[in-house]
């Protein structure tokens, strides 16, 4: 009937174990021992998901009386829980599935039977199992783990409200007793508060320092292999269930005492109650083995957030630390679910201690507790999310290795020795004394702790700074909150005012609705008509766009035309400038040629004048020589007359008979001389007349030359004048042409501007009219526009054609003018050539005549000389004939005659000599004159040839230039008007 009693009776079956002995230590020892049983073959080593149970508590009495709405609905059958909330602005409808769902009506027994009992059986099989209770404050964690405080009756019996811990304890003992097993059991009870571990089973040493010693702080350490163990944790051996209940009561009492001191600590601390069981087994070979099972029952702190839990100032750290454990637990769960490489077990003591329960070899169950109240919906959803995530964690549960008795005993002896040493050290010396290796370990731990403390100090400073910032933020937020509160109040006031206004507005709204309906009908009709209008307008717009595109193409054409006209203008201007340049060159060439010709003519004139003067001089010299000759002959004749008178006198005196003869001879001689003189006179007069004739001819020839040259000068001048006139006319025509082009352009521009203006006016008018009478005007408008455009285009074409015609006319005029000028030029050139040829012929004739005359003169002179020689011969023969005859008669007068003869001879020889000299000089003069003539002829010929050549060259170059210019101009103009056409 009393479980504790019955257990005490079976105390002899229980195995005493060291308080610090844990399954981890068993593992360590097992390395040196024989491995008896392997759990790898039992099929439980495969990944097994953590079991997650959802428990929803019922509404409390207060909540029920306040008619708190329920927002959580559990479907145990489908193992689903739904959070449903319907508010106008926000709608929540979420469903979560778990391994088991226990609704508000579920009892403690239901949970235990369905969930915990199988776990306890696993523990008794040698597994380590952990059960977490997770949820917000007041959701029923403690109720689930421990049960109602009044669950124990006055007789020490439990009511139906007892939690899973007492039920588990009861089941363990019941099972072991039923098996009649030999076992040992130890329990530990600790609390993690502000990341500090408190041993809830520690003995109170001194009531004086109750506060300090109330909970003995213990440390969490890791060995070299990273396994976690707790130094200084009390593990109490228990033999009966009642002992455990007492321990639980004591531990809870400690918690409650602290709670009164630290103000509701329970909801912010994590509590772990552990039961470790060693059960003896005998193999078939008779060997004694010990299997070890462990059950961890964890009541976690409330999962609500720090601010909501009301942590302030000094308690912020506490809340933060507890929250740190919870947050780390969450992060560990996330890391395990997401299979990330690093799992932050070491970040909190809770996760360090329960490392094996999360992703390790432990069988784990999480009981998530929630409230159905609407007020905790947010936290409830958070818990549900958290639990659902935790569902995905996989553990690989393993049965703890079994140990043989001897090893276990050896291990226990070692532990006893260690404890004895501690006791010995304590007895020998005052104060605290520990063994050497413990001291060394503690020192190293101290150093590590000091380092850690330094780091934590820095961390603390940082955290304090952050805290300050957060406090400031918090103050600011509070300020904001108060402001917002004020605003809210104001808004509420406004809201009330607005409510009245809203009612008015509602009335108005009703009226307006009716009006709107009427207007809607009107708008509908209007929209319909507007739609039709828009369709029509769109059609019209399309047509307008087409018209606009046509107009733009027309504008483009006109623009193109403008460009062509501009180009023509530029071409004409360039042609004009080119023509002016070439004309200038031509006029310069003509002027140069005229100057050259004038120069040539002057040269010819000078030459002719010099020739004429030379000729006149020569002729005068010749005349002078002839006169001299005449005088000489006259003096000779006079001398001869004198001699003859003397001879007459002598002969009259000496030879009377001879008078007749002498007079006969004399008369015959006189006659002869007269004849000779007359002949000589005739020859000389002939020569003189020839020379005069020649002079006349020369002067006539000079005159002729002068006349011809003045004629050619006149012709050249007239050619120059004609050319200048031609160019003047040409430039006048070019000016006219450019004027015509400019006029045409101006007219076109004007017309285009008018067209544009007209088009704009038309477009505007049309638009206006179109809006009024769209459909009717469309056809007429288009026709009008087309007509207008056609008219304008025709006008433009006509003007273009007229301009083209004018330009062609002007071009033909220019061409005709150029042809006539060319003809005139040719005629002038032919005339000039003819004149030059005539002049040349006349000059040649004159030259020939002159040569003939000179030849004639020469022959006459030769004849005169011959006659003179004949006369001399006749005289000599007459003298010889008369010598014998006169010898006798003129014997007396021989001497005189001889003297006379000698004198005559000397006179005759001197006369002959002089005559020869004169004749010689005459001949040389004639030769010089001939030479001069010849030279003059040569000069004149060469000059004429040069002139002719120059004229020919000039003519050909002028012809070519003028032809080329005219040809180019004609070509350009024709080309341009071909392009324009
Ligand atoms: N399933 C349930 N059925 C009936 N009553 C319950 C249930 N769960 C909780 N309660 C009641 O709700 C109250 C709060 O429960 P409990 O103290 O266990 O919450 P808690 O989560 O442990 O809170 P804290 O974290 O503050 O310790 C208790 O009075 C308890 O009796």
Task: Tell me if 329 sits within 8 A of 192, measured CB to CB.
Answer: no
Q: Find how far residue 202's CA is from the centre of its chain.
A: 80
At 606, the pLDDT band (50, 70, 90 cuts) reads: confident
Ligand 1 geometric centre to CA of 141 (Å): 6
Count Cβ neighbours within 10 Å for each residue of 638-656 and write b for 16 or more, e otherwise. Answer: ebbeebbeebeebbeebbe
* Domains in the chain, number: 2
* Average pLDDT value for residue range 333-353: 86
Ligand 1 geometric centre to CA of 376 (Å): 14
Domain boundary among 410, 434, 458: 434
Q: Looking at ligand 1, which atom is closest to the CA of residue 133?
A: 21
Ligand 1 geometric centre to CA of 145 (Å): 10
Q: What is the pLDDT of residue 736?
A: 78
Same domain, 63 and 191: yes
Q: pLDDT tens, 346-358?
A: 888 889 888 888 8
Domain boundary among 382, 400, 434: 434
Same domain, 429 and 559: no
- Cα 124 to Cα 122: distance, rounded to the nearest angstrom: 5
Ligand 1 geometric centre to CA of 585 (Å): 126
Q: Is 373 near ligand 1, meaning CB less than 6 Å away?
A: no
Pocket test for ligand 1, best of 61, 109, 142, 143 (most atoms within 8 A of CB): 143
Lowest mean pLDDT among 111-120, 391-400, 532-541, 956-965: 956-965
ipTM of predicted assembly, 2 dp: 0.97
Q: What is the pLDDT of residue 171?
A: 93
Which of residues 963 and 127 earns the better pLDDT score? 127
Q: Is 267 near ligand 1, meaning CB less than 6 Å away?
A: yes
Task: Tell me if 389 sits within 8 A of 149, measured CB to CB.
Answer: no
Ranked by mean pLDDT, the top range of 23-27, 206-210, 536-540, 705-709 is 536-540
Does residue 104 lie within any of the structural domains? yes
Same domain, 430 and 563: no
Same domain, 557 and 425: no
Q: What global pTM score does this model have?
A: 0.45
- Cα 737 to Cα 743: distance, rounded to the nearest angstrom: 10
Which of residues 30 and 939 earns the better pLDDT score? 939
Q: Is 166 near ligand 1, meaning CB less than 6 Å away?
A: no
Ligand 1 geometric centre to CA of 305 (Å): 19
Q: Is 139 near ligand 1, meaning CB less than 6 Å away?
A: yes
* Average pLDDT value for residue range 424-429: 68
Lowest mean pLDDT among 103-107, 147-151, 431-435: 431-435
Q: What is the pLDDT of residue 887?
A: 61
| 123: phi then psi, degrees, rounded to nearest 5 | -60, -45
Q: What is the pLDDT of residue 9?
A: 35
Domain boundary among 395, 413, 434: 434
Ligand 1 geometric centre to CA of 197 (Å): 24
Q: Are strands 128-135 and 363-370 parallel, antiparallel or unpaired?
A: parallel
Where is the binding site for ATP, in residues? 135-142
* CB-based contacts of 83, cutoff 8 Å, min separation 6: 71, 72, 92, 93, 94, 95, 96, 377, 380, 381, 384
* Residue 759 burial (CB count, 10 A): 20
* CB-based contacts of 605, cutoff 8 Å, min separation 6: 705, 706, 709
237: phi > 0 → left, psi -120 to 50 → alpha, else beta; which? beta
94: domain CATH number is 3.40.850.10
Q: What is the pLDDT of residue 510?
A: 86
- Cα 688 to Cα 832: distance, rounded to the nearest angstrom: 37
Ligand 1 geometric centre to CA of 98 (Å): 21
Which of residues 372 and 940 earns the better pLDDT score? 372
Same domain, 116 and 259: yes
Same domain, 178 and 313: yes
Q: What is the pLDDT of residue 698?
A: 66
What ranges make up the beta strands (E) of 24-76? 48-49, 51-56, 72-75
Ranked by mean pLDDT, the top range of 355-359, 399-403, 627-631, 706-710 is 355-359
Same domain, 580 and 707: yes
Q: What is the pLDDT of residue 740?
A: 75
- Cα 386 to Cα 389: distance, rounded to the nearest angstrom: 5
Does residue 430 lie within any of the structural domains? yes
Q: What is the pLDDT of residue 79?
A: 94
Is 117 a residue whose pLDDT tops 50? Answer: yes
Same domain, 109 and 248: yes
Q: Looking at ligand 1, which atom is closest to the CA of residue 266?
A: 27
Nearest by Cα to 365 from 146, 120, 41, 97? 120
* CB-based contacts of 858, cutoff 8 Å, min separation 6: 923, 926
Does residue 479 lie within any of the structural domains? no
Residue nearest to atom 12 of ligand 1 (CA): 140
Is 31 a residue whose pLDDT tops 60? Answer: no
Is 935 a residue whose pLDDT tops 50? Answer: yes
Which helix (H) or strand (E) element contains residue 699? helix 658-772
Q: What is the pLDDT of residue 12?
A: 33
CA dihedral 808, 810, 811, 814 (to 10 degrees): 160
- Cα 365 to Cα 359: distance, rounded to the nearest angstrom: 12
Is 131 a residue whose pLDDT tops 60? Answer: yes
Q: Is 142 near ligand 1, meaning CB less than 6 Å away?
A: yes
Does residue 503 lie within any of the structural domains? no
Q: Looking at ligand 1, which atom is closest to the CA of residue 145?
A: 18
Q: What is the pLDDT of residue 306?
A: 39
CA count, 13 A, side-chain hemisphere, 612? 17
* Residue 415 burial (CB count, 10 A): 16
Is 45 a residue whose pLDDT tops 50? Answer: no
Which residues are 94's β-sheet partners?
A: 83
Q: Find how far residue 19's CA is from the centre of its chain.
A: 81
- Cα 261 to Cα 268: distance, rounded to the nearest angstrom: 14
Does residue 448 lie within any of the structural domains? no
pLDDT mean across residues, the chain: 74
* CB-based contacts of 272, cutoff 8 Å, min separation 6: 188, 189, 190, 191, 192, 296, 297, 298, 353, 354
Q: What is the pLDDT of residue 955?
A: 58
Q: Is 259 near ligand 1, meaning CB less than 6 Å away?
A: no
Which of residues 190 and 923 earns the better pLDDT score? 190
Pocket test for ligand 1, best of 138, 303, 369, 376 (most atoms within 8 A of CB): 138
Specify the DSSP class assigned to residue 139: S
Q: Is 171 near ligand 1, meaning CB less than 6 Å away?
A: no
Is 192 a residue whose pLDDT tops 60? Answer: yes
- Classify residue 860 as exposed, middle or buried by CB count within 10 Å of its CB (0-12, 13-18, 19+): middle
Specify the DSSP class assigned to residue 345: G
Task: Tell me if 540 sits within 8 A of 770, measured CB to CB.
Answer: yes
* CB-based contacts of 231, cutoff 8 Å, min separation 6: 218, 219, 220, 221
Does residue 647 lie within any of the structural domains? yes
365: phi > 0 → left, psi -120 to 50 → alpha, else beta; which? beta
Same domain, 564 and 419: no
The share of the chain scoring above pLDDT 70, in percent, equals: 65
Q: pLDDT tens, 765-814?
A: 877 777 777 667 667 766 776 777 677 767 777 776 776 677 677 667 76
- Cα 493 to Cα 716: distance, rounded to the nearest angstrom: 120
Specify the DSSP class assigned to residue 342: -
What ranges make up the beta strands (E) of 50-173? 51-56, 72-75, 80-86, 91-97, 100-102, 128-135
Specify the DSSP class assigned to residue 401: P
Lowest mean pLDDT among 5-9, 644-648, 656-660, 900-904: 5-9
- Cα 868 to Cα 633: distance, rounded to the nearest angstrom: 11
Ranked by mean pLDDT, the top range of 640-654, 763-777, 931-945 is 763-777
Q: What is the pLDDT of residue 15?
A: 39
HEC per residue, 478-535: HHHHHHHHHHHHHHHHHHHHHHHHHHHHHHHHHHHHHHHHHHHHHHHHHHHHHHHHHH
Which of residues 233 and 849 earns the better pLDDT score? 233
Residue nearest to atom 2 of ligand 1 (CA): 57
Is 549 a residue whose pLDDT tops 60? Answer: yes
Same domain, 580 and 725: yes
Q: What is the pLDDT of residue 21?
A: 37
Q: Is 348 near ligand 1, meaning CB less than 6 Å away?
A: no
Pocket test for ligand 1, best of 106, 139, 140 (most atoms within 8 A of CB): 140
Q: Is 57 near ligand 1, meaning CB less than 6 Å away?
A: yes
Lowest mean pLDDT among 59-73, 301-315, 643-657, 885-899: 301-315
Q: Looking at ligand 1, which atom is closest to the CA of residue 104?
A: 1
What ranges make up the beta strands (E) of 120-256? 128-135, 183-193, 196-199, 216-222, 228-231, 236-238
Which helix (H) or strand (E) element contains residue 880? helix 774-889
Which of residues 680 and 361 earns the better pLDDT score? 361
Q: What is the pLDDT of residue 169?
A: 92
- Per-position DSSP letters for 357-392, written without gaps between them: GTTSSSEEEEEEEE--BGGGHHHHHHHHHHHHHHTT
* Average pLDDT value for residue range 302-317: 51
Q: What is the pLDDT of residue 164?
A: 92
Pocket test for ligand 1, best of 61, 102, 142, 380 (most atoms within 8 A of CB): 142
Residue 185 structural domain: 3-434
Does residue 303 lie within any of the structural domains? yes
* CB-based contacts of 150, cutoff 8 Å, min separation 6: 159, 161
Does residue 680 lie within any of the structural domains? yes
Which of residues 966 and 931 earns the better pLDDT score? 931
- Cα 877 to Cα 875: distance, rounded to the nearest angstrom: 5
Is 41 a residue whose pLDDT tops 80? Answer: no
Same domain, 430 and 570: no
280: phi > 0 → left, psi -120 to 50 → alpha, else beta; which? beta
Which helix (H) or strand (E) element contains residue 141? helix 141-145
Q: Is 148 near ligand 1, meaning CB less than 6 Å away?
A: yes
Residues of the chain by 3-state class (helix, strand, coil), percent to 5 = 75, 10, 15
Is 96 a residue whose pLDDT tops 90? Answer: yes
Q: What is the pLDDT of residue 823?
A: 77
- Cα 567 to Cα 139: distance, rounded to the nearest angstrom: 100
Ligand 1 geometric centre to CA of 659 (Å): 218
- Cα 965 to Cα 957: distance, rounded to the nearest angstrom: 12
Is 413 a residue whose pLDDT tops 80? Answer: yes
Task: Tell me if 163 sits within 8 A of 146, measured CB to CB.
Answer: yes
Which residues are 189's β-sheet partners?
A: 273
Q: Is 255 near ligand 1, meaning CB less than 6 Å away?
A: no
Q: Is 147 near ligand 1, meaning CB less than 6 Å away?
A: no
* CB-based contacts of 658, cutoff 8 Å, min separation 6: 651, 886, 889, 890
- Cα 635 to Cα 629: distance, rounded to the nearest angstrom: 9
């Amino acid at each position: 009937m009393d479980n504790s009693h019955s257990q005490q009776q079976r105390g002899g079956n229980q195995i005493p174990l060291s308080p610090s002995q844990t399954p981890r230590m068993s593992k360590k020892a097992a390395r040196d021992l024989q491995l008896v049983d392997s759990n790898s073959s039992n099929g439980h080593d495969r990944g097994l998901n953590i079991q997650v149970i959802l428990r929803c508590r019922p509404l409390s009495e207060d909540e029920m009386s306040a008619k708190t709405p329920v927002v959580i609905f559990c479907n145990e059958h489908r193992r689903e829980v739904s959070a449903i909330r319907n508010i106008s602005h926000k709608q929540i409808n979420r469903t979560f599935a778990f391994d088991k769902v226990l609704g508000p009506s579920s009892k403690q027994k239901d949970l235990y039977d369905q969930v915990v009992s199988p776990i306890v059986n696993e523990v008794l099989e040698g597994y380590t199992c952990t059960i977490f209770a997770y949820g917000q404050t007041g959701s029923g964690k403690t109720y689930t783990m421990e049960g109602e405080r009044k669950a124990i009756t006055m007789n020490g019996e439990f009511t139906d409200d007892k939690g899973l811990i007492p039920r588990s304890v009861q089941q363990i003992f019941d099972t072991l007793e039923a098996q009649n097993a030999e076992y040992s059991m130890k329990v530990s009870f600790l609390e993690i508060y502000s990341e500090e571990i408190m041993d809830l089973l520690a003995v109170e040493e001194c009531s004086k320092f109750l506060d300090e010693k109330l909970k003995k702080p213990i440390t969490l350490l890791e060995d070299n292999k990273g396994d976690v163990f707790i130094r200084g944790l009390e593990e109490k051996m228990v033999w009966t269930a009642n002992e455990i209940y007492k321990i639980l009561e004591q531990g809870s009492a400690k918690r409650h005492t602290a709670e009164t001191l630290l103000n509701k600590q329970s909801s912010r601390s994590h509590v772990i109650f552990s039961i470790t069981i060693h059960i003896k087994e005998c193999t078939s070979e008779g060997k004694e083995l010990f299997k070890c099972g462990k059950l961890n029952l964890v009541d976690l702190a409330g999962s609500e957030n720090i601010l909501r839990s009301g942590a302030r100032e000094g308690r912020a750290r506490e809340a933060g630390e507890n929250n740190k454990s919870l947050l780390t637990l969450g992060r560990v769960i996330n890391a395990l679910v997401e299979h990330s490489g690093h799992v932050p077990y070491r970040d909190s003591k809770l996760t360090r201690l329960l490392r094996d329960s999360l992703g390790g070899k432990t069988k784990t169950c999480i009981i998530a507790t929630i409230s159905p109240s609407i007020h905790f919906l947010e936290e409830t959803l958070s818990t549900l999310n958290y639990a659902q995530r935790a569902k995905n964690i996989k553990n690989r549960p393993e049965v703890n290795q079994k140990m043989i008795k001897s090893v276990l005993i050896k291990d226990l002896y070692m532990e006893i020795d260690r404890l004895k040493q501690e006791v010995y050290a304590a007895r020998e010396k005052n104060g605290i004394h520990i063994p050497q290796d413990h001291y060394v370990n503690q020192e190293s731990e101290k150093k590590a702790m000091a380092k850690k403390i330094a780091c934590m100090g820095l961390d603390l400073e940082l955290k304090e700074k952050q805290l300050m910032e957060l406090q400031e933020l918090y103050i600011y937020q509070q300020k904001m909150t108060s402001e917002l509160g004020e605003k809210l109040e104001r808004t509420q006031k406004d809201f009330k005012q607005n409510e009245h206004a809203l009612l008015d507005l509602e009335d108005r709204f009703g009226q307006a609705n009716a009006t709107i309906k009427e207007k809607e009908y009107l708008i509908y009709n209007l929209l319909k008509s507007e739609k039709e209008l828009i369709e029509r307008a769109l059609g019209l717009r399309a047509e307008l766009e087409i018209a606009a595109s046509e107009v733009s193409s027309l504008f483009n054409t006109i623009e193109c035309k403008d460009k062509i006209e501009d180009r023509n203008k530029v071409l004409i201007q360039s042609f004009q400038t080119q023509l002016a340049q070439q004309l200038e060159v031509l006029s310069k060439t003509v002027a140069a040629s005229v100057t050259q010709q004038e120069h040539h003519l002057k040269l010819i004139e000078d030459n002719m004048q010099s020739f004429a003067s030379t000729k006149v001089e020569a002729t005068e010299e010749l005349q002078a020589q002839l006169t001299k000759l005449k005088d000489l002959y006259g003096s000779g004749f006079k001398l001869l007359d004198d001699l003859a008178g003397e001879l007459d006198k002598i002969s009259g005196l000496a030879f009377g008979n001879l008078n007749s003869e002498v007079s006969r001879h004399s008369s015959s001689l006189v006659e002869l001389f007269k004849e000779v003189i007359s002949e000589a006179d005739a020859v000389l007069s002939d020569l003189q007349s020839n020379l005069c004739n020649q002079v006349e001819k020369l002067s006539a020839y000079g005159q002729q030359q002068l006349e011809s040259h003045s004629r050619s000068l006149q012709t050249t001048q007239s050619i120059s004048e004609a050319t200048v006139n031609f160019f003047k006319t040409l430039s006048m025509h070019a000016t006219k042409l450019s004027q015509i082009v400019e006029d045409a352009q101006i007219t076109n521009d004007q017309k285009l501007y008018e067209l544009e203006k007209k088009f704009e006016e038309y477009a505007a008018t049309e638009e206006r009219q179109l809006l009024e009478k769209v459909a009717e005007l469309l056809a007429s408008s288009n026709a009008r526009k087309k007509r207008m455009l056609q008219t304008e285009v025709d006008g433009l074409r006509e003007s273009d054609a007229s301009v083209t015609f004018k330009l062609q006319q002007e071009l033909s005029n220019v061409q005709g003018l150029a042809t006539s000028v060319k003809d005139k030029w040719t005629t002038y050139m032919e005339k000039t050539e003819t004149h030059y040829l005539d002049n040349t012929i006349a000059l040649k004739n004159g030259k020939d005549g002159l040569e003939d005359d000179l030849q004639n003169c020469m022959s006459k002179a030769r004849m005169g000389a011959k006659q003179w020689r004949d006369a001399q011969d006749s005289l000599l023969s007459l003298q010889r004939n008369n010598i014998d005859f006169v010898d006798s008669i003129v014997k007396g007068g021989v001497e005189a005659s001889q003297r006379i003869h000698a004198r005559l001879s000397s006179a005759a020889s001197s006369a002959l000599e002089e005559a020869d000299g004169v004749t010689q000089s005459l001949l040389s003069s004639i030769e010089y004159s001939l030479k001069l003539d010849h030279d003059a002829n040569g000069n004149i010929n060469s000059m004429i040839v040069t002139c002719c050549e120059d004229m020919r060259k000039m003519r050909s170059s002028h012809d070519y230039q003028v032809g080329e210019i005219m040809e180019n101009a004609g070509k350009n103009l024709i080309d341009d008007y071909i392009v324009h056409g």
